[in-house]
A and B are shown apart, each in its own frame.
Chain A
Amino acid sequence: MSIIRFRNYSVYTKDRKILDNINLEIFENNVNTVLGPSGSGKSTLVRSINRLIEITPGLKYDGEIYFKDKSIFEYQPEEIRRQIGLVFQQPNPFNFSIFENVAFGPRIHWKLKENELEEIVKNSLIEAALYEEVKDNLKKSALSLSGGQQQRLCIARALALKPLVIMMDEPTSSLDPIAMNKIEDLIIKLKEKYTIILITHDVRQAARISDFIAFIYNGRIIEHSKAEEILEKPKNEITEKFLTDRLG
């Protein structure tokens, strides 16, 4: 079942197209990877889904994106962003305590009692596999955490809003291999409950955790299919060249 569908969606600046006529399905409870070299439009793709594009000066767009069979433009932007979380390339926790970071989203969306809020924060940290490491230090500044912990905190922050989809824009590119492994294991666990959209330029990472891969190049989706198919026998020669170059 697809939960997000792009239909003839394009994004452009005054003089060039960043995304060119995208048609793409995102499948529920799968890891949907968007793979491609830097500058190919991957980030713009996820920023379109949660409507950050609209507040980026100088960008125009046309076409449609459907979320649960309704155009994303018919939702309130805040509601779309609650249901579709985004984890950025660089961990970007707020300069607050660990607790306040996770509580930020629930606080602005819902009126909650303090004990309900604590429950949500705790569960989100457990789901993001961070709770055991920070449970005694929830009042400590989030900036005192390591890079990998900060990234898992950002994941917990998104999970606290009870979203349906979590988008991750190269979530491990600034992390060391051990921290990267933890995030990858987490992604595999999270897909049981959430739909994951993973942006990466790392073919090995895509191979390790993807269910579906869309290969994007120069703003176009070149190929989209099950991960094994695209990795083993790519139909398009651009895809093949990218895969062999990256895998050496």
Chain B
Amino acid sequence: MNIRVIKDFSFKLLGYFLILFIIAILVAITGSIIINGLHSITLKMLIENGDTTSGGIFNAIVGTWMLVGVGILFSVPIGIFSAIFIVEYGWKRYNSIVRVFTDVLTSTPSIVLGLFGYLFLVIQLGFGYSLLAGGITLGIMMLPYILRVTEISLTEVPTNIKEAAISLGAKKMDLIFRIMLPYAKNGIITSTILAISIGAGETAQLLYTAGWNNGIPNSLIKSQVAYLTYVVWAGINQPSNYSHQLAFASGLILIITVFSLIFISKYIKR
């Protein structure tokens, strides 16, 4: 065998090995969470409120969706309208600047965003640990994803379709609301789902802004919120076996949520 064949073969082997390695990590993570989760989870946990050492995780499940909901309500309108301005109102030339901002925002560590949320929303605006503080902080993190994908979807509306609408006498508003947004609908929905799944899995920024609640928050501000990632984080640090079970159950719920959201968004893309 000559040296090139050996090189080629070993490179291929290395490739297979690395791919197997990646798959193994993924299987190990999800597998351990799913197995442990299935052993730990009980129906009672899903319908009872709890405090990470006793009870269930109903309050954390509801709280997570409430936080994500506020985040979506904050980020989707801002993201969509900013994207419209960039694409349709000649802001395209500032695109590189906007891109730098969104990139910086995407790569800002979430703990730093949490710090900002704490200083500005919790303290300065006096929201306290609350839905609004936690949700908006999540929303700030979701914003670049929504903005970017919406902008790309709007840019991809074919010119001949836009010209057809303009030739029928469509004004700018007609063009945006009756043609471009319907055409970009799938992109917007996909990016929103992606943002939900990212938001649902966040911890660091919520530690500073959402707090914890043994029940369901009764107000947008000054009422703390429970969330699933907190149960994972706090539960695993407790000495009791039951806390560990709650943590694994929360992990399972999170993984199922995120996986199903990803599958839904893949389905919509097609």
Contacts and interface: CB of A to CB of B under 8 A. Distances in A.
Contact of B165 (A50, A94, A158): A94
A88 B166 contact: no
Interface string A53-64: 001000000000
Contacts of B25: none
Contacts of A77: 169
Interface stretch (B171-179, B194-202, B261-269): B171-179
Nearest to B183: A95
B168 A52 contact: no
Contact of A108 (B160, B164, B169): B169
A90 B163 CA distance: 12
Given A105-B169, A108-B169, A94 B161 contact: yes
Given A78-B169, A78-B171, A158-B168, A108 B178 contact: yes
A82 B178 CA distance: 17
A93 B183 CA distance: 13
A161 B163 contact: no
A81 B158 CA distance: 20
Contacts of B161: 92, 94-95
B170 A90 contact: no
A102 B107 CA distance: 46
A101 to B, nearest CB: 9
A82 B169 CA distance: 5
Interface residues of B, number: 17
B168 A161 contact: yes
A104 interface: yes
B167 interface: yes
Contacts, number: 59
A81 B166 contact: yes
Given A94-B179, A108-B178, A52 B169 contact: no
Contacts of B171: 78, 108
B207 to A, nearest CB: 45
Contacts of B182: 95-96
A209 to B, nearest CB: 22
Interface string A70-99: 000000011101100110101011111000
Contacts of A95: 161, 182-183
Given A94-B179, A104-B178, A88 B168 contact: no
A109 interface: yes
A42 interface: no
A154 B166 contact: no
A104 B165 contact: yes
Contacts of A79: 169
Interface of A: 50, 52, 55, 77-79, 81-82, 85-86, 88, 90, 92-96, 104-105, 107-109, 154, 157-158, 161
The 6 closest A-B pairs by CB, nearest first: A78-B169, A81-B169, A105-B168, A82-B169, A86-B167, A92-B160
Interface of B: 158, 160-161, 163-171, 174, 178-179, 182-183
